[in-house]
Amino acid sequence: MDHFQYSGGMLHAEDVSVSEIAAQVGTPFYVYSAATLTRHFQLFSEALSPMPHLVCFAIKSLSNVAVLKLLGQLGAGMDVVSGGEYLRAKAAGVPGDRIVFSGVGKTRDEMRMALTGGIRQFNVESEPELLALSAVATELGTTAPIAIRVNPDVDAKTHEKIATGKSENKFGIPIAKARAAYAQAASLPGIKVVGVDVHIGSQLTDLAPFEAAFTKVRELALQLRADGHQITRLDLGGGLGIPYTRSNEAPPLPVDYGTMVKRVLGDLDVEIEIEPGRLISGNSGLLVSEVIYVKNGEGRDFLILDAAMNDLVRPSMYGAHHDIIPVIEGTPGSPTQPFDVVGPVCETGDTFAKGRDLPLLAAGDLVAFRSAGAYGAVMASEYNTRPLIPEVLVQGDQFAVIRARPTFDEIISRDSIPEWL
């Protein structure tokens, strides 16, 4: 569910007309709904109750500081995968004891930053990382709380580029080697074991792989306790998928996920951490774009938009589908026609959709890509020297630009010409 709907024939974000935002901000832009973000966070939090839990928003899916502040004020923790994301969480006012640090390649500088600024736990993904963290913590005279990310060798049955829980993936320590890794962790100075971590992939549309992974984590946690470790937290990662089409998809809801988690892990006397990204942010955002030209090709018509693959890369990177809807609602029964929806970038891959049935749109019309809140703005680039597009946050009848469009001067002045040229 989201808070983008037609009212009086015009698409609205909550109570704000999308075309009014376009008139003020210019296209293309991302717009997020505070009510939808809030609702999705709360659905997860309620789904895990009454187990002690912390819902840590995966910042990498949508990292604007205003969004982080909104979620942080609701009590969310944050899952960060870089020093930059850590600083974003802090800039949003999220306390260190609600920030977990994930990722396979944490540098010593990043470890230092988090240990100095405050951190809930590091999710450690390899033995060399464990040794580095021990050294950094010891040097700072402090202790790093850790969970080890185990790779349960479970097939998440999702897109190969976002599956992370198979033994061939780069993530985590193979679960069969976990006991040895925990024994090593317990023997190292500056390290305190607090839990076990797992994250098997993204956009999962079935609970079975989660349940298989969590069942393995359960067995491991019991074994580790028998080995003498204090396992007080289980971090279950993120990955629950969202419907990208309105029609035929029905991925499990947070409440079903929560019921399963409680069934599998409810008796363990642990605090549950989860790291949802997409399910909180995905359907909370639209990408709004204007039609520049309608071009009649050989046997097909192209809708050339002012948004491109550099603004929203998911279709060209993952072959992902986004519903595209007109900002002015088509009247029932009005004709449609198939369009290839493309951007202006000089790549054939700059194609959002092929043969998509849309109303008879013309230059100057606005369209919106649904489900663009996650892995949209954060993956954008300035390819073709196209400025990063603005982000707008709506709450009720008010909206604010939460990241402005840079000027070309700002973009070009970041380059510098060596004096010997």
Ligand X SMILES: *Cc1c(COP(=O)(O)O)cnc(C)c1O
Pick 81 or 124: Cβ nearer ligand X: 81
Among 278, 314, 322, 370, binds ligand X (CB under 6 A): 278
Among 275, 306, 350, 391, binds ligand X (CB under 6 A): 275
Catalytic residues: 346
Query: Please, which of residues 235-254 interact with ligand X by CB under 6 A?
Result: 237-239
Are the CB atoms for 281 and 61 separated by under 8 Å?
yes
Does residue 213 belong to the site contacting ligand X (CB under 6 A)? no
Does residue 63 belong to the site contacting ligand X (CB under 6 A)? no
Among 12, 53, 106, 199, binds ligand X (CB under 6 A): 199
Amino acid at 233: R
**Kind of pairing, strands 301-305 and 336-342?**
parallel
Pick 56 or 366: Cβ nearer ligand X: 56
Contact window for ligand X (CB under 6 A) among 34-42, 262-270, 276-284, 357-365: 276-284
Residue 77 C-beta: closest distance to ligand X, Å: 12
Mark out the alpha helices in 188-234 (DSSP H runs): 208-226
Among 60, 216, 322, 386, binds ligand X (CB under 6 A): 60
Q: What SS3 class is residue 368?
A: strand
Per DSSP, the residues of 79-136 read: EESSHHHHHHHHHTT--GGGEEE--TT--HHHHHHHHHH--SEEEE-SHHHHHHHHHH
Distance from chain centroid for Cα 400? 22
Does residue 72 belong to the site contacting ligand X (CB under 6 A)? no
- List the beta bridge partners of residue 369: 287, 324
Among 22, 55, 58, 345, binds ligand X (CB under 6 A): 58
Distance from C-alpha of 414 to C-alpha of 230, rounded to nearest angstrom: 49
CB count in 10 Å sphere of residue 12 = 21
The mark string for 361-390 relative to ligand X (x by CB under 6 A, - otherwise) is -------------x----------------
Q: Give me 247's structure tokens.
A: 């029609």
Among 33, 202, 283, 310, binds ligand X (CB under 6 A): 202
Pick 72 or 276: Cβ nearer ligand X: 276
Asked whether the bond before 359 is cis by omega within 30 degrees of 0, the reply is no
Interface residues with ligand X (CB under 6 A) are 58, 60-61, 79, 81, 102, 199, 202-203, 237-239, 275-279, 374
